[in-house]
């Protein structure tokens, strides 16, 4: 008896109960193959659960290889649509099989399938079109559901539960409390993700999977797997970056197939504010520069200094001198240029003790008298906020005028005996296009104004978080000083200038109070430090 193979595909769970289950397909194919004098090889029966639109389907590839090696002489499928809903891929598969001297047969209608069969091509085109319609209807329904506030399915984030009746996310108060604690520990204590996970495990806080009898569904797997039921650093990091906790999430952002324009914005009950999410992101970014293990030499400004000439970071370095050593900050491209494959950066190094003392003196002044810096920042921002308010009022006036114009046009049109519908449509389209543009602009202005208000709220929180150091500022530990510096210093930029043939570093130290993405607000810069050729401080008077 000749040997044959079979491609058996189930793309949805629904097909299991519609007579096209793997067992039903295999049974029908085996009977038909036997009638034609072929024996169905069990090792050549490819049972797959995959999309019919995938271009690199495993069943196609293995069937071609089996025919090529002579393991089988014929390939069976239950029906044409089991070959897939991509016409080009289906015809290409049939062509390759025939080119190898084998055949493909359909068991349901008991016919041979050939790539040049005109009727088969029409059936394949219909199947492809049907798939496109299915996708479109599914996407439209999904979009309407998400916009209406319903959840799209998938893993429900920790802190939420899905209401089976309304299909909307609701707060799980016990878990939401844990989420708020995680953000609090990250922001107020600046704990790393590892330390937060250790604290939760030490408190015996159960994970979601522990509450669900210690099983979980692995992505891409069909069976449940056991879980250790402990908190891990990666899980904490993902939670701190999850925008759903601030009330918004995106459907489709995990898919590599979908671009930003294909994603759908959804809403969820907020557990923390957008400002809290932004602050947590800054702390996470800051923690990347902190050493994970004890180090021999400590650098207060680790990760904060960058070279304005080449863009690389300044790293800690040391020079050995008689009787000891001296710490420096040096541009990474000036010391590691040969490893990086770039030309050496000629930027000037900074004495660590000098720049650290300078920055710490400013931080101390802020901690001991924050009102001066706060007043200065608010005075700096006041004109910008006033301008934003004026622009908002102007946009509101323009929107009212457009609405009045649209009403007038519609009233005139309703009273006219003869009406040029095309001209009316053109004018209304122009009005509505202008209205949409103005509304988008108004939204951007409102967001920036709200961010400014959030900036004020955050500004007054910083002194409270640093209040514990006020009475013992001179006895603060290195870790306390480093946390204080990172709360206040946004970045330090070094630009090397040549003055009278001598390279001189000019350092700009920028202090930030969570600017929260305000593009019109310049960073709060207290001073620019540099030195002239005599080595004296050439910075302007301090604010």
Band of residue 133 on the pLDDT scale cut at 50, 70, 90: confident
pLDDT at res. 399:
87
Give span(s): CATH 3.40.50.1390, the chain.
2-137
- Answer whether 532's CB lies under 8 Å from 516's CB: no
pLDDT at 506 over 80: yes
Please state which of the ranges 21-30, 164-173, 236-245 shows the lowest mean pLDDT.
21-30
How many angstroms separate the CA atoms of 371 and 350, rounded?
A: 31
- Mean of pLDDT values over 144-151: 74
* Bigger pLDDT: 225 vs 400: 400
Q: Out of 193-197, 398-402, 513-517, which region has the weakest mean confidence (pLDDT)?
A: 513-517
pLDDT over 90 (residue 461): no
Quote the pLDDT of residue 377: 66
Q: According to the model, what pLDDT value does residue 271 have?
A: 92
Q: pLDDT at position 256, please?
A: 63
Where residue 536 falls among pLDDT bands split at 50, 70, 90?
very low
User: What does the pLDDT average to over 218-236?
Assistant: 66
- With 50 as the cut, is the pLDDT of residue 489 above it? yes
Residue 236 scores a pLDDT above 90:
yes
Query: Mean pLDDT, to the nearest integer, of 215-234?
Result: 61
Among the listed residues 521, 289, 461, 474, the one whose alpha carbon sits nearest the alpha carbon of residue 363: 474
pLDDT of 228 reads: 63
pLDDT band at 176 (very low <50, low <70, confident <90, very high): very high
Residue 262, pLDDT > 70, answer no
Distance CA 155, CA 153 (A): 7
DSSP, collapsed to helix, strand or coil, labels residue 104 as: strand
Q: Quick one: CATH architecture of 160-217+226-287?
A: Alpha-Beta Complex (3.90)
Average pLDDT over residues 426-447: 80
| CATH 1.10.287 domain residues, the chain | 375-464
Supply the CATH classification number for the domain 375-464. Answer: 1.10.287
Task: Provide the pLDDT confidence category of residue 288 given band limits of 50, 70 and 90.
Answer: low
pLDDT at 319 over 70: yes
Best-predicted range by mean pLDDT among 139-143, 372-376, 381-385, 441-445? 441-445
Q: What pLDDT sits at residue 540?
A: 34
pLDDT at 428: 79
Given this model, what pLDDT does residue 28 score?
A: 86
In terms of pLDDT, which residue wins out, 309 or 543?
A: 309
Are 207 and 169 spatial neighbours (Cβ–Cβ below 8 Å)? no
User: pLDDT at position 121, please?
Assistant: 77
Confidence label for 510 from pLDDT (cuts 50, 70 and 90)? confident
Mean pLDDT of 3-25: 67
Average pLDDT over residues 157-182: 89
- 465 versus 436: the higher-pLDDT residue is 436
Which pLDDT does position 156 carry in this prediction?
A: 85
pTM, two decimals, is 0.47
**Which residue intervals of the chain bear CATH 3.90.1750.20?**
160-217+226-287
* pLDDT of res. 196: 92
Q: What is the average pLDDT value for the chain, to the nearest integer?
A: 76
pLDDT score recorded for residue 179: 94
Query: What pLDDT, on the 0 to 100 scale, is given for residue 223?
Result: 47
Q: What's the pLDDT score for residue 457?
A: 66
Say if CB 472 and CB 484 are below 8 A apart.
no
pLDDT value at residue 526 = 32
What is the DSSP annotation of 64-92? HHHHHTTS-SEEEESSGGGG-S-HHHHHH
Residue 528 has pLDDT above 60, yes or no: no
State residue 419's pLDDT score. 65
Task: Calculate what percentage of the chain has a pLDDT beyond 90.
Answer: 7
CB 331, CB 494: distance < 8 Å: yes
Bridge partners (DSSP) of residue 91 are none
Q: What is the pLDDT of residue 329?
A: 92
Tell whether the model's pLDDT for residue 531 goes beyond 70.
Answer: no
- Over range 337-342, report the average pLDDT: 84
Tell me what pLDDT residue 227 has. 56
| Residue 519 reports pLDDT greater than 50 | no
> Taking the domain 2-137, which CATH number applies?
3.40.50.1390
The residue-averaged pLDDT of 524-532 equals 35
Q: Which of 60-64, 209-213, 319-323, 377-381 has the lowest mean pLDDT?
A: 209-213
Instruction: Please state the three-class secondary structure of 394-427 as a single string.
Output: HHHHHHHHHHHHHHHHHHHHHHCCCCCHHHHHHH
368: Cβ contacts below 8 Å, ≥ 6 apart: 470, 473
**Neighbour-count burial for 86-99, b at 16+ CB within 10 Å, e otherwise:** bbebbbebbebbbe
pLDDT band at 94 (very low <50, low <70, confident <90, very high): confident
Percentage of residues in the chain having pLDDT higher than 70: 73
Instruction: Render pLDDT for 361-403 as a digit per residue (tens, 0 to 9).
Output: 888 887 777 777 677 666 766 676 678 778 888 888 888 888 8
22, 62 contact by CB (below 8 A)? no
Work out the average pLDDT over 51-71: 72
Predicted confidence at residue 293, as pLDDT, reads 58
Task: Please check the confidence at residue 213 and state whether its pLDDT lies above 70.
Answer: no
């Amino acid at each position: 008896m000749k040997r044959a193979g079979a491609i058996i595909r189930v793309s949805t769970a629904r097909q299991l109960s519609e007579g096209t289950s793997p067992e039903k397909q295999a049974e029908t194919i085996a009977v038909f193959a036997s009638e034609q004098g072929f024996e169905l090889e069990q090792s050549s029966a490819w049972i797959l659960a995959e999309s019919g639109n995938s271009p690199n389907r495993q069943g196609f590839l293995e069937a071609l290889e089996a025919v090529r090696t002579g393991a089988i002489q014929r390939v069976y499928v239950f029906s044409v649509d089991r070959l897939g809903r991509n016409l080009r891929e289906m015809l290409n598969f049939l062509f390759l099989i025939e080119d190898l001297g084998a055949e493909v047969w359909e068991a349901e209608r008991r016919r041979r399938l050939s790539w040049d069969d005109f009727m088969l091509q029409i059936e394949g085109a219909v199947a492809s079109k049907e798939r496109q319609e299915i996708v479109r209807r599914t996407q439209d329904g999904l979009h309407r559901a998400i916009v209406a506030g319903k959840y799209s399915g998938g893993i429900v984030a920790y802190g939420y539960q899905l209401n089976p009746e309304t299909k909307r996310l609701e707060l799980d108060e016990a878990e939401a409390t844990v989420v708020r604690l995680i953000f609090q520990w990250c922001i107020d204590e600046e704990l790393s993700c590892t330390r937060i996970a250790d604290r939760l495990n030490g408190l015996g806080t159960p994970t979601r999977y522990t509450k669900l009898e210690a099983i979980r569904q692995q992505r891409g797997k069909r069976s449940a797997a056991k879980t250790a039921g402990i908190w891990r650093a990666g899980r904490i990091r993902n939670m701190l970056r999850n925008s759903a906790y601030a009330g918004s999430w995106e459907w489709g952002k995990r898919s590599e197939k979908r671009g930003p324009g294909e994603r759908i914005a959804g809403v969820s009950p907020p557990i923390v504010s957008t400002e809290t999410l932004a602050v947590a992101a800054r702390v996470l970014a800051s923690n990347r520069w902190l050493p994970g293990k004890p180090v021999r030499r400590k650098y207060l400004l680790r990760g904060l200094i960058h070279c304005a000439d080449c863009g690389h970071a300044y790293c800690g370095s040391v020079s050995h001198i008689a009787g000891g050593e001296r710490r420096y900050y040096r541009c990474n491209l000036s010391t590691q240029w040969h490893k990086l494959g770039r030309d050496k950066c000629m930027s000037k190094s900074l004495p660590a003790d000098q720049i650290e003392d300078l920055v710490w003196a400013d931080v101390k002044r802020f901690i001991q008298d924050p009102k001066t810096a706060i007043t200065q920042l608010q005075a700096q921002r006041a004109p910008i906020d006033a301008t934003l308010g004026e622009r908002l009022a102007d946009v509101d006036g323009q929107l009212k005028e457009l609405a009045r114009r649209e009403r007038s046009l519609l009233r005139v049109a309703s009273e006219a005996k003869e009406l040029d519908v095309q001209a009316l449509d053109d004018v209304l389209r122009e009005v509505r296009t202008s209205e949409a543009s103005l509304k988008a602009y108004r939204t951007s202005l409102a967001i920036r104004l709200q961010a400014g208000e959030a900036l004020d709220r955050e500004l007054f929180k910083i002194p409270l978080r640093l209040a514990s150091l006020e009475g013992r500022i001179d006895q603060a530990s290195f870790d306390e000083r480093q946390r204080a510096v990172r709360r206040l210093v946004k970045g330090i930029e070094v630009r090397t200038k040549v003055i009278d043939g001598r390279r001189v570093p000019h350092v700009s130290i920028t202090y930030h109070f969570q600017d929260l993405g305000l593009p019109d607000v310049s960073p709060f810069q207290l001073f620019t430090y540099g030195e002239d050729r005599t080595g004296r401080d050439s910075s302007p008077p301090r604010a």
